[in-house]
Chains A and B, each alone.
Chain A
Amino acid sequence: MTALEGRFHDGVTAAEHRVAVTIVEDGLEIAGAGARAFWRKQDVVVVDKSGDVWRLSSSETPDARLAIEKSKAAETALRDGGILDPRRDAIRGLWLAGGLLALSASLAFIVFVAIPLGAEPLARATPRDVEEQLGENLARQVNVFMRPCEKTAPADAAIMPLLNDLEAAGDPGFTIMLTFVQEDTPNALAVAGGQIMVTSGLLETLESPDELAAVIAHEIGHVKSRDGMIALYRNAGLGILLELITGGSGVAQQIVMVGGQLTELSYTRAQEARADRVAIAIMGDAGLDPAALARAFERLKGYKRGDGDEPRVPKQMRDMHVPEWLQSHPDIDNRIVRARAAQRPARAIAMSPEDWATVRAACKAK
């Protein structure tokens, strides 16, 4: 039986009581003027041991506090009585560390695996009219940065037969809406819901109508696979999850973001390959030479961006396909090889030289 001196707050009033603390077999007996308590051993919690006292509590009376002056004798007594247990703290620390790491790992799983995998089924389950409405709104937003070219009626009319052929061959499930936009970077992009944009830079870079047909066929491939919708779910999922979980806090978020972007790229590669396959099939069905896709890629690859040619579209929107990485990506050569291998003689022409001239001049009307 060891008695220690302590100061006791009973958790009922704010008064302080000088008490004698006796360590008995199954707990602590606390006794003093106006205060008496018994804390069972298994209920005793060390709430603070950093200062010059040990501050104890009991899970039965969680507000009550018992402060015991630190001394060698007191430490021995409390340790022998099983009240102070350094191992318990260490074990609790390990549990917390393990729990947090497991949580982080499952979060990483969601970010890198579940969301990328879930985006596609979700996109397929989305009603087509919803995607169409969405595509319209998105196109409007993209058009804030990439203005549609003006007075394109002649070009629209000239490209219509080709577009109809490609659409019939591809059966993308959406009405294709093609817009010519003012943008020096040669590029074409498919937004959700059949909205396709062709930049003025692309019209200048490509040198034959079947190349343009191949690029449009590739975009129709994206529309058919609902890639815009998939990207939207993926980006929205990642964006919201990361924003929310990290609560907008600095460095860590950046790291996670970079990681997220990497998976995005690799996923996009798969989608690009799929769109290429669809494009090759469409070109063949439309009686055109699928290898035109290879030629279009060659031209894009050869395009060197001059100063001041930075695309004006914010990155999030550019993610909706093709650009930039097309030029630097090692995969592009493989894609060229595959497209070239699909070569077969054309049975038709994409459009007449006159129509091609009209289409190429789509963005030049004053």
Chain B
Amino acid sequence: MTTEQAERGAIALDVKNNSTIGQFLWIGFYSSIFTLLTLTIFRFWARTIVRKRLWADTTIGGTPLEYTGKGSELFIGFLIAIVTVMVPIVGAIVAAQLLLPPIYTAVVIAVVYLGFFILIGVALFLARRYQLSRTNWRGVRFEQRGSPWAYGFIAFGYGLLSAITLGWFAPAMRLRLEKRMWNNAFFGDMAFTYDNSKEARTEPVYKSYILAYIGVILYYALIFGGMFQLGLMDSMGSGGMPDIRDIGILYALAFGGAILFLLFVAWHEAVMLRQITKSISLGDVKLKSTFSTWDLIGLVLTNLLLVIFTLGFGAIAAQMRTWRKICRRIEVDGTLELARIHQAASRGPRSGEGMADAFDLSGGV
């Protein structure tokens, strides 16, 4: 990049990631040990370390992203969510179970579960808001605006619709939720836009979903078929415990089924990734992904081996590899006049992803 370009602020924004497996295996190893020593409390700092590394290894137009979050923020956010959300929920369920006649217990539990589903959306939104607010590039923060509650309710509504349509609304739901997120996302004062119009949806979203759908049906057929074959359904019905051998067979089935399942859903997942990526733009900059079905299958299988052969320590490295692959498949078209982009309006939340952590939704990185 030349000085003139920098002053004009218009630069090419190629995305690169140069993370190395060794580094992330090491992080995975020592953070597992610290996590054990601290009765798992270190996990918030571990996640922060991973993000800092991952962000720093990711450059856009030659300048790395920077993760500015802190482990203490995640920890405090988690504690707040525990006290304000989890304790009341668990308390309500336990109290209802122990103190109310069964019929009211069922009502209380139903209400709590409904609320819980709404909160999942809220939690995901809050986690995203935190992450964007803690991402700095070229001295400017990202920002997620919009209402977490609106997102929670809408996601819940879409979820219901998906259930009613036996899953047929699910791909549309994912795209609409992405649209909702991205249309409220900012880099500094510049808004991202997400085009979910019919013309923009050029990937075979539903065609690939048919195959994925068949995969889901086959998977469950396999598991339940296996359970019936082993007579597990009967023993469960009578309150008995299935024996170890049967459980082993069931796990083997689930594992083999998962590999088979991967082949059925890989196309759809790759399609969704490409569709979502190409729908996003920032000013004149348009994104595009060349992530292929075989990329996905190869990635999942090699990640699986990585995790198995490192006895789980490699899970973080596996997540890195996914992110690295996504970065390497992104193509950026267009330039940004960076000097005209000003700082984001809000600093973002003080504390971290609380609810998502309390619900265990954060899923590693």
Contacts of B336 in A (CB 8 A): 14
The CA of A253 and the CA of B39, in the complex, are separated in Å by: 7
Contacts of B102 in A (CB 8 A): 137, 140
Q: State whether A244 touches B239 (Cβ < 8 A).
A: no
A33-B7, A101-B38, A104-B38 known; A13-B140 Cβ under 8 A: yes
Contacts of A157 in B (CB 8 A): none
Contacts of B360 in A (CB 8 A): 247-249
The CA of A252 and the CA of B138, in the complex, are separated in Å by: 39
Contacts of B56 in A (CB 8 A): 48, 50-51
Q: State whether A10 touches B40 (Cβ < 8 A).
A: no
- Residue ID in chain B nearest A247 by CB atoms: B360
B43 on the A face (CB < 8 A): yes
Count how many pairs of residues, one from A and one from B, have CB atoms less than 8 Å apart in the complex: 143
A15-B9, A16-B63, A50-B56 known; A249-B40 Cβ under 8 A: yes
Q: State whether B239 touches A14 (Cβ < 8 A).
A: no
Q: State whether B136 touches A247 (Cβ < 8 A).
A: no
Give the A interface residue count (CB, 8 A). 53
Residues of chain B at the chain A interface (Cβ within 8 Å) = 1, 3, 6-7, 9, 32, 34-43, 45, 52-53, 56, 63-64, 66, 68, 71, 78, 82, 86-87, 90, 94, 97-100, 102, 136-141, 187-188, 239-241, 336, 338-343, 357-358, 360
Q: State whether B39 touches A247 (Cβ < 8 A).
A: no
Contacts of B53 in A (CB 8 A): 50
Q: State whether B68 touches A252 (Cβ < 8 A).
A: no
The CA of A64 and the CA of B7, in the complex, are separated in Å by: 17
Q: State whether A11 touches B140 (Cβ < 8 A).
A: yes
A357 on the B face (CB < 8 A): no
A96-B45, A244-B358 known; A14-B38 Cβ under 8 A: no
Contacts of B240 in A (CB 8 A): 312
Q: State whether A104 touches B41 (Cβ < 8 A).
A: yes
Contacts of B38 in A (CB 8 A): 100-101, 103-104
Q: State whether A12 touches B99 (Cβ < 8 A).
A: no
A96-B45, A137-B98 known; A65-B40 Cβ under 8 A: no
Q: State whether B341 touches A63 (Cβ < 8 A).
A: no
Partner pick for B64 among A14, A51, A144, CB 8 A cutoff: A51
The CA of A55 and the CA of B53, in the complex, are separated in Å by: 14
Q: State whether A236 touches B94 (Cβ < 8 A).
A: yes
- Residue ID in chain A nearest B101 by CB atoms: A137
Q: State whether A13 touches B39 (Cβ < 8 A).
A: no
The CA of A15 and the CA of B8, in the complex, are separated in Å by: 8
Q: State whether B43 touches A249 (Cβ < 8 A).
A: yes
Q: State whether B37 touches A101 (Cβ < 8 A).
A: yes
Q: State whether A14 touches B7 (Cβ < 8 A).
A: no
A3 on the B face (CB < 8 A): no
A336-358 at interface with B (beta carbon < 8 Å): none
Q: State whether A252 touches B40 (Cβ < 8 A).
A: yes
The CA of A245 and the CA of B98, in the complex, are separated in Å by: 23
Q: State whether A244 touches B41 (Cβ < 8 A).
A: no
A107 on the B face (CB < 8 A): yes
A63-B136, A134-B98 known; A47-B68 Cβ under 8 A: yes
Q: State whether B341 touches A240 (Cβ < 8 A).
A: no
Query: Which of the listed residues B38, B87, B239 has the most CB atoms from chain A within 10 Å of its own CB?
Result: B38
- Residue ID in chain A nearest B342 by CB atoms: A13
A273 on the B face (CB < 8 A): no
Contacts of B42 in A (CB 8 A): 100
Partner pick for A252 among B39, B71, B90, B94, CB 8 A cutoff: B39
Chain A nearest Cβ from B25, distance in angstroms:
16
Q: State whether B239 touches A145 (Cβ < 8 A).
A: yes
- Residue ID in chain A nearest B23 by CB atoms: A50
The CA of A34 and the CA of B7, in the complex, are separated in Å by: 9
Q: State whether A18 touches B3 (Cβ < 8 A).
A: yes
A34-55 at interface with B (beta carbon < 8 Å): 34, 47-48, 50-51, 55
Q: State whether B6 touches A16 (Cβ < 8 A).
A: yes
The CA of A240 and the CA of B7, in the complex, are separated in Å by: 56
A310-363 at interface with B (beta carbon < 8 Å): 310, 312
Q: State whether A255 touches B7 (Cβ < 8 A).
A: no
A14-B338, A48-B66, A50-B56 known; A133-B40 Cβ under 8 A: no
Chain A nearest Cβ from B19, distance in angstroms:
11
Q: List 5 A-B contacts (CB under 8 A).
A: A9-B139, A50-B53, A96-B71, A246-B40, A252-B36
Having A14-B138, A248-B360, A312-B241, one finds 18 other A-B pairs with CB under 8 Å, namely A11-B343, A13-B139, A13-B338, A14-B9, A15-B9, A18-B3, A48-B66, A50-B53, A96-B45, A96-B71, A100-B45, A133-B98, A134-B99, A137-B98, A144-B239, A244-B86, A245-B40, A252-B40
